[in-house]
């Protein structure tokens, strides 16, 4: 770089620094998004490091889905550690005197768990006393929702306990845990009185350890695993919990980072467009410089210095905003994080965001920058409408495009640490941008046809303004439209997930399911349901069993076989099986033949197995499975394979027996009901049944739907927040485009005033232009998101997609109003101009 | 010296017109008590060296700016004290403009550009469209109706501007260096069209120019120097054609 180029770059730029910054302002929002997300990630990981032990509450957690055996306890006693025990299960809880019921997460604790961190309660310290007092701690949301206070009581099974504290925070758990069901902590001593730990109940037993001295937890786990009888124990260490959590944070921030990256790319597209307009305007200056003997490399250097400097300035502004946004991001994810975030300036994140911003904007601006060299010196003496970009050689043009794609994909791969994901994402993004550009061109073409005589002059002039020379209409529609596309797809996906769940909640469809119904309770529950306006849709018997052999090989043999690729989960799990003579609507036979009747278990029983278990067991039709049904071995053969739609509310089963085999086996029931009369009736029936049979669990489909909706809305809000950066980029690019064309706009406004237009007409013309721009961007973005929605509905959810036109219309209106607001800001600068300027301009 | 028809009402009355700007903290008088009347139908050139106040005078006469002192009466309408929107209406009804750098709206075709002044009044599209075509044909651009300004040469653009200036049948037409950006041959073509339409439509023509040859083709020349009228005289053209009867009173 020579001194002349450096000096000239400064001299040429100094009088128009503001305008130059505007050209590069498109990347501000993108860099802000990137810096915010990268810094947020750094904050979370830092906090995880600092509070790792609190994530688990202990040094080691050992889980078992049965009571720990004496062997287990003997092993545990050899460990030099403080110990605590927990029993966790889901059960209906009757809250307060009004008798409201909720399926809740029961945690019965003995010992000093959590050893690290504390269960925060109101009043403070209740978590230190509840075990001694024999009282309960209850989750804040359900207490607030049902108007309960400390001192009220709850009924868990047959036991009644006083509420001694409202749970505010549980170490290692986010507030979103409450969405699964209210958390209730009891002393272990109270569990006997509940009478809930019956056969068939799904219970998780946990042992927690806090080692007295620094211990090699990994070695301890390894030692326990080598002991006899510990095969079905599962272990969680602080490290493994930290790794799991970091992976979730990485995945989340990578995903959000990619959405932020979209904003950066859109901004860079805006920068490229603005730089091209700048270069085109500078054509005469460049030509004059060339006449005076400035070399082509010098002119390129001069303009490159300006663009890099301004790109850096834009990125720096973005980085500062990013650091500010970083302070607010924890609010967005508050409910999903199990701790308060420790916030700190993350210089690596800031530098990464800054560097990425400058590099990407330069890569995008390269093509317009190189077009400087196509400007002929002749332009200095012969003015003409010269398009520099059209004169770049095709080979150079294609080379730069390929290089830009490689660089951008490379940068993204570095950011998200996956080349494959970066390539796939870029491919998708390019398709989306090309589609948006295509749709924009199509809409612009259609609009051009709308300049019909029947429309007023102001309308036709407003439309015509979209096509003014050096216009950036297509780029603006693309950038704004991409924001709309992201927001639209998110909202459509959420609606579809909810629709998919709500699919079966209409009239005559299940809206309440009772689980864990014992044989001797079944008739009474059916009677109570029918007396309370409920119709029983299904009464499904369930038999628990375990797999003992697969094709004559024992489970232990299979697990010891190092060459076997059979999933340990499928071998170890407790199978809950039903029997019937016919398939239900959620099941489809994909191979073999369904046999609905069999004659006892003396001969081989033909069963049907779900595709997932077939895959996990690496099994196929004709394979033999031997089950231990409450002590009796039953040999079966896979006679058919089923596809099962588990998203439906009725209970479905991986393994299905024919009628005539399991009827005499000990069993319990799941009862599927349709309760007419709405949510109040559903709640009332739950109360009636749970009061009569406290061990029975109820699944209120309406409440589940509400929980899923709340959860999805929170996730959607986080994603849409990042998508807003794309909208913001669109608005900044719009603002910059308007500012760049300000001179042209003033000239047009003043000319119209000179020709006799009143201010209202000039304003109306501009408002029409901006409103159309916003409308076109919305139509392009929403149009594509509707197509994407339809494709997702068709291929993913297998639903007929009915768009929510009201919310789409509201979103469109919001975008139009935002664009109008940006335009109105600009109009203020134009409306004060006197018509006399037209003569002065001419003189100039 | 002033020239005015004795039996015609002036279309433009300028009385004691003064315009002062603040320049670097001290007042700068660009026009200093200028007075003259222009009768309907004549052509008048305003000439003078750079900085003599020609463009300022034109701007004030056309109601594009407000004077510091004095007043202008355009087609019987005093311009003083009018709001910008009121002035815009007066311009739209009585005035046509031609600029040195053509000032066409780049997003409109030739015919659409010509239609703008009448369309602003809400004129019937078909009627205006037909009239615009006639005018474009008159200026020799019947074959370029749907071309955009960037697709036209400088001379063609100025001819579109002339057609636009005449579309609203103005009583007075202000032209600011109408041939300043054109080569001699094209400039002469534009002049001839301008004067031809001026004669045929009886429009008063006020031209600001540096071009003495163009000025000599007008009926009257007002020469400005340092913001004052140095000379106001009838040309030989006017005397020989006996177009107007001068009465000098300046």
Structure tokens at A7: 């000096």
Asked if B108 lies within 8 A of A469 by C-beta distance, the reply is no
Element holding A159 (H helix, E strand)? strand A159-169
Residues A555 and A642 reside in one and the same domain: yes
- Residue B73 CA, chain-centre distance (Å), reads 15
- pLDDT, residue A832, reads 66
Looking at mean pLDDT, say which of A134-148, A277-291, A490-504 comes out highest. Answer: A134-148
Q: How close, in Å, is residue B119 to chain A by CA atoms?
A: 6
Position A684 in a domain: no
Residues A391 and A442 reside in one and the same domain: no
Of the candidates A259, A797, A179, A714, the one whose C-alpha atom is nearest the C-alpha of residue A493 is A797
Asked if B105 lies within 8 A of A748 by C-beta distance, the reply is yes
Name which residue leads in pLDDT, A101 or B161. Answer: B161
Residues 6+ apart with CB under 8 A from A680: none
Percentage of residues in chain A having pLDDT higher than 90: 20
Position A692 in a domain: no
Asked if B106 lies within 8 A of A469 by C-beta distance, the reply is yes
Looking at mean pLDDT, say which of A268-282, A310-324, B114-128 comes out highest. Answer: A310-324
Element holding A515 (H helix, E strand)? strand A512-518
Residues A631 and A553 reside in one and the same domain: yes
Of the candidates A334, A415, A307, the one whose C-alpha atom is nearest the C-alpha of residue A718 is A334
Nearest CB to A755; choose among B116, B125, B177: B116
Euclidean distance between CA atoms A788 and A794, whole angstroms: 10
Euclidean distance between CA atoms A390 and A201, whole angstroms: 74
Residue given tokens 């012969």 in the structure block? A382
Confidence of residue A636 (pLDDT cuts 50, 70, 90): very high
Position A295 in a domain: yes
Average the pLDDT over each of A92-96, A297-301, A528-532, B23-27 and give the range with the smallest value. B23-27
Euclidean distance between CA atoms A298 and A312, whole angstroms: 21
Residues A461 and A552 reside in one and the same domain: no
Residues A626 and A480 reside in one and the same domain: no
A722 pLDDT higher than 80: no
Residues A31 and A138 reside in one and the same domain: no
Name which residue leads in pLDDT, A15 or A400. Answer: A400
Euclidean distance between CA atoms A320 and A322, whole angstroms: 5
A567 pLDDT higher than 50: yes
- pLDDT, residue A506, reads 52
Percentage of residues in chain B having pLDDT higher than 90: 34
Tell me the average pLDDT across B182-209.
Answer: 86
Domain end residue (candidates: A385, A417, A449): A417
Residues A459 and A490 reside in one and the same domain: yes
Quote the DSSP letter at residue A282. T
A381 contacts in chain B (CB < 8 Å): none
- What is the number of other CB atoms lying within 10 angstroms of the CB of residue B201? 14
Residues A779 and A841 reside in one and the same domain: yes
What is this model's ipTM? Answer: 0.71
Residues A383 and A277 reside in one and the same domain: yes
- A401, HSE (Cβ side, Cα atoms, 13 Å): 8
Structure tokens at B86: 């009121």
Query: Residue B208: helix, strand or coil by DSSP?
Result: strand
Q: What is the pLDDT of residues A740-786, one digit of tens each?
A: 777 777 878 888 888 888 888 888 888 898 888 888 888 888 888 88
In angstroms, the Cα distances linking A462 to A812, B102, B151 are: 19, 21, 21
B15 pLDDT higher than 90: yes
Residue given tokens 């439209």 in the structure block? A481
Rounded (5°) CA angle A772-A791-A610: 155
Handedness of CA A514, A516, A521, A523 (dihedral sign): positive
Position A236 in a domain: no
pTM for the full model? 0.68
Asked if B99 lies within 8 A of A757 by C-beta distance, the reply is no
Asked if A457 lies within 8 A of B93 by C-beta distance, the reply is no
- Contact residues of A toward B, CB < 8 A: 385, 453-454, 456-457, 460-461, 464-469, 744, 747-748, 751-761, 834-836, 838-843
Tell me the sheet residues that pair with A153. A162
Position A468 in a domain: yes
Euclidean distance between CA atoms A46 and B149, whole angstroms: 62
Residues A707 and A793 reside in one and the same domain: yes
B229 pLDDT higher than 50: yes
A469 contacts in chain B (CB < 8 Å): 106-107, 150
Nearest CB to B107; choose among A454, A465, A757: A465
Quote the DSSP letter at residue A342. P
Tell me the average pLDDT across A727-751.
Answer: 78
Residues A798 and A819 reside in one and the same domain: yes
Domains of chain B in start order, with CATH, are 10-241 (3.40.50.300)
B59 contacts in chain A (CB < 8 Å): 835-836, 839
Tell me the sheet residues that pair with A588. A643
Q: What is the pLDDT of residues B94-123, one digit of tens each?
A: 988 888 878 888 778 899 889 988 888 777
A457 contacts in chain B (CB < 8 Å): 115-116, 119-120, 122
Domain end residue (candidates: A362, A385, A417): A417
A798 pLDDT higher than 80: no
A672 phi and psi, to 5 degrees? -100, 125
Domain tally, chain A: 4
A754 contacts in chain B (CB < 8 Å): 62, 64, 91, 97
Rounded (5°) CA angle A167-A168-A173: 95
Tell me the average pLDDT across A225-234.
Answer: 83
Q: Count, in order, helices (H) and strands (E) of chain B.
A: 8, 10
Tell me the average pLDDT across A532-537.
Answer: 85
Position A783 in a domain: yes
Question: Residue A317: which domain range?
Answer: 1-55+244-417
Is B3 buried (19+), middle (13-18) or exposed (0-12) by CB count in 10 A? buried
Of the candidates A157, A815, A231, the one whose C-alpha atom is nearest the C-alpha of residue A480 is A815
Position A264 in a domain: yes
For chain A, give the mean pLDDT.
83
- Region of A352 (left: φ > 0; alpha: ψ -120 to 50; beta: rest) is alpha
Tell me the average pLDDT across A489-514.
Answer: 68
Question: Maximum Cα–Cα distance for chain A, whole Å?
Answer: 108
Residues A623 and A772 reside in one and the same domain: no
- Is-contact A343 A330, C-beta < 8 A? yes
Asked if B101 lies within 8 A of A465 by C-beta distance, the reply is no
Q: How close, in Å, is residue A750 to chain B by CA atoms?
A: 10
A577 pLDDT higher than 50: yes
Domain end residue (candidates: A626, A655, A675): A675
For chain B, give the mean pLDDT.
84
Rounded (5°) CA angle A406-A408-A413: 90
Nearest CB to B125; choose among A453, A748, A752: A453
B245 pLDDT higher than 50: no
- Is-contact A126 A165, C-beta < 8 A? yes
Position A232 in a domain: no
Which of B61, B67, B83, B88 best tests the A interface by mutation, with the highest count of A CBs <10 A?
B88
- Region of B200 (left: φ > 0; alpha: ψ -120 to 50; beta: rest) is alpha
């Amino acid at each position: 770089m020579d001194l002349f180029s450096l000096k000239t770059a400064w001299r040429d730029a100094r009088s128009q620094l503001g305008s130059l910054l505007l050209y590069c302002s498109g990347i501000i929002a993108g860099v802000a998004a990137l810096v915010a997300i990268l810094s947020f990630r750094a904050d979370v990981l830092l906090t995880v490091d600092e509070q790792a032990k609190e994530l688990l509450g202990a040094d080691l957690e050992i889980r078992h889905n049965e009571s720990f055996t004496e062997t287990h306890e003997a092993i545990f006693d050899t460990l030099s550690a403080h110990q605590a025990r927990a029993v966790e299960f889901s059960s209906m809880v009757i809250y307060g005197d009004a008798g409201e019921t909720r399926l809740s997460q029961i945690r019965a604790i003995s010992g000093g768990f959590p050893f690290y961190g504390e269960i925060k309660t109101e009043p403070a310290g209740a978590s230190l006393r509840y075990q001694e007092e024999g009282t309960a701690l209850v989750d804040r949301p359900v207490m607030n929702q049902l108007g309960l206070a400390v001192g009220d009581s709850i009924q868990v099974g047959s036991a009644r306990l006083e509420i001694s504290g409202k749970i505010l925070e549980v170490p290692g758990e986010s507030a979103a845990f409450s969405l699964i069901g209210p958390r209730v902590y009891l002393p272990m001593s109270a569990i006997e009185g509940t009478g809930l730990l019956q056969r068939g109940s799904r219970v998780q037993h946990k042992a927690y350890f806090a080692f007295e001295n620094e211990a090699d937890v990994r070695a301890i786990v390894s030692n326990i695993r080598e002991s006899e009888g510990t095969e079905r124990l599962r272990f969680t260490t602080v490290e493994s919990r930290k790794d799991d959590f970091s992976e979730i944070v990485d995945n989340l921030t990578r995903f959000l980072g990619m959405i932020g990256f979209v904003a950066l790319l859109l901004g860079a597209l805006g920068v490229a467009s603005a730089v091209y307009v700048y270069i085109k305007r500078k054509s005469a200056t460049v030509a004059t410089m060339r006449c005076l003997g400035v070399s082509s490399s010098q002119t390129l250097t001069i303009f490159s210095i300006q663009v890099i400097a301004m790109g850096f300035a834009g990125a720096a502004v973005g980085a500062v905003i990013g650091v500010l946004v970083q302070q607010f991001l924890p609010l967005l994810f508050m409910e999903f994080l199990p701790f308060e975030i420790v916030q700190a300036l993350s210089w690596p994140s800031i530098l990464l965001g800054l560097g990425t911003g400058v590099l990407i904007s330069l890569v995008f601006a390269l093509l317009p920058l190189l077009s400087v060299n196509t400007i002929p010196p002749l332009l200095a003496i012969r003015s003409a409408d010269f398009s520099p970009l059209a004169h770049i050689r095709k080979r150079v043009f294609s080379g730069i495009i390929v290089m830009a794609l490689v660089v951008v994909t490379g940068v993204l791969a570095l950011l998200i640490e996956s080349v494959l994901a970066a390539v796939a994402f870029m491919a998708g993004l390019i398709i989306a941008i090309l589609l948006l550009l295509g749709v924009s061109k199509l809409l612009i073409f259609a609009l051009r046809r709308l300049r019909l005589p029947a429309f007023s002059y102001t309308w036709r002039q407003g439309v015509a303004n979209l096509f003014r020379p050096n216009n950036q209409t297509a780029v603006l529609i693309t950038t704004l439209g991409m924001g709309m596309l992201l927001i639209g797809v998110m909202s459509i996906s959420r609606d579809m997930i909810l629709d998919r769940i709500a699919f079966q909640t209409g009239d005559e469809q299940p809206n309440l399911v009772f689980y864990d119904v014992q044989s001797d309770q079944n008739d009474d529950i059916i009677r109570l349901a029918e007396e309370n306006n409920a119709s029983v849709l299904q009464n499904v018997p369930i038999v628990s069993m375990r797999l003992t052999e697969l094709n004559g090989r024992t489970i232990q043999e299979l697990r010891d076989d190092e060459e076997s690729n059979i999933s340990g989960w499928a071998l170890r799990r407790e199978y809950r099986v039903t029997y019937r003579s016919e398939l239900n609507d959620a099941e489809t036979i994909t191979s073999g033949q369904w046999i609905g009747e069999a004659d006892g278990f003396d001969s081989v029983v033909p069963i049907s197995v779900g595709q997932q278990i077939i895959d996990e067991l690496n099994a196929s039709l004709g394979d033999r499975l031997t089950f231990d049904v409450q002590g009796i071995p039953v040999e079966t053969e896979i006679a058919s394979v089923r596809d099962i739609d588990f998203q439906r509310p009725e209970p479905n089963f991986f393994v299905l027996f024919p009628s005539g085999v399991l009827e005499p086996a000990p069993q319990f029931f799941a009862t599927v009901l349709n309760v007419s009369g709405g949510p109040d009736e559903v709640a009332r029936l739950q109360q009636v049944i749970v009061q009569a049979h406290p061990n029975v669990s109820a699944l209120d489909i309406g409440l589940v739907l509400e929980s899923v909706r709340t959860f999805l809305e929170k996730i959607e809000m986080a994603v849409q927040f990042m998508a807003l950066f794309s909208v913001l980029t669109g608005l900044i690019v719009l603002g910059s485009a308007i500012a760049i064309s300000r001179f042209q706009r003033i000239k047009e406004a003043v000319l119209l005033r000179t020709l006799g237009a009143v201010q209202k007409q000039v304003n109306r013309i501009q408002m029409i232009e901006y409103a159309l721009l916003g409308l076109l961007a919305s139509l392009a973005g929403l149009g594509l998101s509707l197509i994407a929605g339809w494709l997702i509905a068709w291929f993913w959810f297998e639903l007929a997609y009915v768009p929510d036109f009201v919310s789409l219309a509201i979103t469109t209106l919001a975008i139009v109003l935002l664009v109008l607001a940006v335009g109105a800001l600009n109009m203020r600068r134009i409306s004060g101009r006197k018509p006399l300027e037209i003569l002065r301009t001419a003189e100039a | 010296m002033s020239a005015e028809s004795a039996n015609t009402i002036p279309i433009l009355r300028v009385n004691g017109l003064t315009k002062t700007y603040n320049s670097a903290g001290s007042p700068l008088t660009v026009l200093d008590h200028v007075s003259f009347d222009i009768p309907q139908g004549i052509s008048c050139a305003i000439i003078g060296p750079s900085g003599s106040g020609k463009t300022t005078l034109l701007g004030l006469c056309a109601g594009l700016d407000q004077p510091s002192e004095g007043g202008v009466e355009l087609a019987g309408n005093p311009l003083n004290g009018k709001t910008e929107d009121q002035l815009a209406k007066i311009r739209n009804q009585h005035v046509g403009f031609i600029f040195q750098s053509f000032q066409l709206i780049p997003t409109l075709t030739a015919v659409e550009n010509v239609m703008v002044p009448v369309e602003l009044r809400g004129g019937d599209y078909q009627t205006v469209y037909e009239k615009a075509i006639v005018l474009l044909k008159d200026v020799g651009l019947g074959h370029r109706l749907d071309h955009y300004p960037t697709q036209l040469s400088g001379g063609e653009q100025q001819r579109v501007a002339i057609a636009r200036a005449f579309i609203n049948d103005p009583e007075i037409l202000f032209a600011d260096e109408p041939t300043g950006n054109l080569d001699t041959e094209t400039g002469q073509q534009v002049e001839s069209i301008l004067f031809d339409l001026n004669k045929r439509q009886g429009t008063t023509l006020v031209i600001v120019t540096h071009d003495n040859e163009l000025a000599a083709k007008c009926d009257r020349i007002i020469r400005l120097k340092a913001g004052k009228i140095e000379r106001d005289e009838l040309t030989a053209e006017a005397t020989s054609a006996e177009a107007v009867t001068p009465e000098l009173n300046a």
